[in-house]
């Protein structure tokens, strides 16, 4: 990969790193510093989840995926906005706060102090509830794919406790952090929540659930696939659930012995294809597994069926880098790592062939679309992106891609601003697919604080129509959701 001279970088590494400082405080206030005007029609709440604590008693958390979940809520009401954040009171968070030190091993390598003897054979992982937040069926859930969800009070963000969804999720069970909301095939269809859990080892069992808006189970099915499966996300179409089984292998010995976190024992197999699993929603139909080029996918943008083909748009990486032991993520060398790019996989159902096409080569992550187009042919995709069109770099921009015309619209906050997941929120009463807003939380390293930005999705290049300045920073988060007025 071509290395740019450092003076050509769109960012300063120290600026980027400071966005990963812990935020141990919990706040509750009306946001009074706003540039621009919050649209009056924007009514509802943006919830975001992400790691809030990235160090503990002087010991750093080695990977951001290991930081305790902290949920933020920004409520928009008649042109005003209110901010609140709370840590999820998981068993681990409460115990570690009380002890004032790290008591659990992190999946991605954060070790308990005490070296080998403290870490060997200690397989208890902390449910850190830090990946996403879902509001459905009047329940607000903080999600982490390795364990059960935590239910929170939607207004105060107080932790109510582990949520088992009427006994469906057994103790030790999992519920993925990437639920999909199926809008149905006609406007009169009721929306459904679709999500999965996974049990992995020498073989892996995926269980998929569909719920109505009161969490009544409408459908459930399980499928078993050979091998270890690292499944973070999935996509749906009217007839299929689609998973990408990345070609990775899990070598648990260093983890069991306490040398490495479980995430560090994942090894990419460049000699193996990525398997695309097409699981029919009709559970009487057989599953189909199709090989494609070896690659790694965390996130999918969307999928849809057309003319006996299925299109899947995903953020793909050429390979999955090994997470090295004792390597702090803040020190990573972006130039040596693959950049996420938007790829379209075209699956031909007639002959089982899969074609892969790069549709956006700029480094990008965290795709978002209009919620009514989930699983359907669509035109617009929004994603966090790097400032430069080439190379690997932190996210500093929002990119809107018109999949029909190929036009791209970019708004960058480089050099001193950094981007997180942009979410598309439809304007009430709007009919055009891009009639709505993009909401994102950004990190302003100049002032060491975070902003909530609102853009018109039809005018990305016009920049933020409102920038809401928080009184503090929030570490870069992962995923969120928007809820129209409850
Ligand atoms: Co994710």
Rounded to the nearest angstrom, the distance between the alpha carbon of 93 and the centre of ligand 1 is 21
Residue spans of the domains in the chain: they are 18-484
Rounded to the nearest angstrom, the distance between the alpha carbon of 367 and the centre of ligand 1 is 10
0.75 exceeded by pTM:
yes
Rounded to the nearest angstrom, the distance between the alpha carbon of 365 and the centre of ligand 1 is 9
Whether residue 367 contacts residue 313, with contact meaning beta carbons closer than 8 Å, is answered with: yes
Q: What angle (nearest 5°) sits at the alpha carbon of residue 368, between those of residues 425 and 470?
A: 60
Rounded to the nearest angstrom, the distance between the alpha carbon of 63 and the centre of ligand 1 is 15
Q: What is the pLDDT of residue 4?
A: 46
User: What distance in Å separates the CA atoms of residue 389 and residue 420, rounded to the nearest whole number?
Assistant: 18
Q: What is the pLDDT of residue 1?
A: 40
Domain 18-484 fold is Methylamine Dehydrogenase; Chain H (2.130.10)
Rounded to the nearest angstrom, the distance between the alpha carbon of 132 and the centre of ligand 1 is 7
Rounded to the nearest angstrom, the distance between the alpha carbon of 485 and the centre of ligand 1 is 25
Q: What is the pLDDT of residue 374?
A: 98
Rounded to the nearest angstrom, the distance between the alpha carbon of 114 and the centre of ligand 1 is 32
Rounded to the nearest angstrom, the distance between the alpha carbon of 478 and the centre of ligand 1 is 7
Rounded to the nearest angstrom, the distance between the alpha carbon of 163 and the centre of ligand 1 is 20
Q: Are strands 55-56 and 274-280 parallel, antiparallel or unpaired?
A: unpaired
pLDDT tens string, the chain, 486 residues long: the values are: 444 444 578 999 999 999 999 999 999 999 999 999 999 999 999 999 999 999 887 888 877 788 999 999 999 999 999 999 999 999 999 999 999 888 887 766 676 665 555 554 455 678 899 999 999 999 999 999 989 999 999 999 999 999 999 999 998 889 999 999 999 988 889 999 999 999 887 889 999 999 999 999 999 999 999 988 889 999 999 999 999 998 888 776 666 666 666 677 778 888 999 999 999 999 999 999 999 999 999 999 999 999 999 999 999 999 887 766 667 778 888 888 899 999 999 999 999 999 999 999 999 999 999 999 999 999 999 999 999 999 999 999 999 999 999 999 999 999 999 999 999 999 999 999 999 999 999 999 999 999 999 999 999 999 999 999 999 999 999 999 999 976
Rounded to the nearest angstrom, the distance between the alpha carbon of 480 and the centre of ligand 1 is 10
User: What distance in Å separates the CA atoms of residue 93 and residue 83, rounded to the nearest whole number?
Assistant: 22
CA atoms within 13 A on the CB side of 252: 8
Q: What is the pLDDT of residue 256?
A: 60
User: What distance in Å separates the CA atoms of residue 93 and residue 106, rounded to the nearest whole number?
Assistant: 12
Q: What is the pLDDT of residue 333?
A: 85
């Amino acid at each position: 990969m071509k290395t740019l001279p450092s003076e050509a970088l769109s960012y300063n590494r120290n600026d980027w790193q400071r966005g990963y400082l812990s935020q141990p405080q919990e706040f509750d206030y009306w946001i009074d510093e706003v540039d621009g005007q919050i649209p009056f029609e924007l009514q509802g709440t943006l919830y975001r989840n992400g790691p809030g604590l990235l160090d503990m008693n002087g010991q750093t958390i080695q990977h951001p995926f290991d930081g305790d979940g902290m949920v933020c809520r920004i409520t928009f009401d008649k042109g005003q906005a209110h901010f609140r954040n709370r840590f999820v009171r998981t068993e681990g968070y409460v115990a570690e706060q009380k002890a004032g030190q790290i008591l659990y091993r992190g999946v991605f390598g954060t070790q308990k102090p005490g070296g080998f003897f403290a870490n060997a054979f200690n397989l208890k992982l902390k449910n850190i509830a830090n990946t996403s937040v879902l509001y459905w069926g009047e329940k607000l859930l903080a999600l982490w794919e390795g364990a059960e969800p935590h239910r929170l009070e939607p207004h105060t963000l107080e932790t109510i406790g582990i949520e088992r969804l009427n006994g469906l999720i057994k103790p030790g069970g999992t519920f993925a952090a990437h639920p999909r909301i199926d809008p149905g095939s006609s406007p009169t269809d009721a929306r459904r929540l679709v999500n999965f859990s996974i049990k992995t080892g020498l073989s892996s069992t995926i269980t998929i659930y569909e719920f109505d808006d009161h969490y009544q189970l409408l459908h459930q099915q399980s499928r078993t696939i050979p091998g270890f499966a690292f499944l973070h996300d999935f996509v749906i179409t009217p007839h299929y659930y689609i998973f990408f089984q990345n070609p990775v292998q899990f070598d648990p010995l260093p983890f069991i012995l306490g040398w490495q976190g479980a995430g560090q024992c994942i090894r990419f197999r460049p000699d193996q294809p990525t398997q695309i699993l097409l699981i029919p929603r009709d559970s009487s139909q057989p599953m189909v597994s199709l090989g494609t080029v070896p690659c790694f996918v965390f996130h999918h943008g969307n999928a849809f069926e057309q003319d006996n083909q299925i299109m899947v748009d995903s953020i793909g990486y050429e390979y999955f880098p090994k997470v090295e032991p004792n390597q702090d993520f803040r020190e990573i060398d972006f130039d040596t790592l693959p950049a996420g790019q938007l790829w379209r996989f075209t699956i031909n159902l007639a002959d089982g062939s899969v074609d892969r096409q790069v549709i956006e080569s700029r480094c990008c992550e965290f795709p978002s679309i209009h919620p009514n187009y989930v699983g359907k042919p669509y035109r617009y995709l929004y994603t966090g992106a790097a400032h430069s069109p080439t190379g690997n770099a932190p996210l500093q921009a929002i990119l809107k891609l018109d999949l029909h015309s190929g036009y791209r619209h970019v708004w960058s906050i480089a050099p001193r601003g950094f981007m997180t997941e942009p979410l598309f929120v439809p304007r009430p009463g709007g009919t055009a697919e891009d009639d709505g807003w993009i909401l994102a939380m950004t990190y302003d390293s100049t002032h060491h604080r975070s902003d909530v930005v609102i853009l018109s999705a039809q005018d990305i290049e016009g920049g933020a129509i409102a920038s809401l300045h928080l009184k503090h920073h929030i570490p870069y988060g992962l995923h969120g959701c928007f809820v129209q007025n409850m």
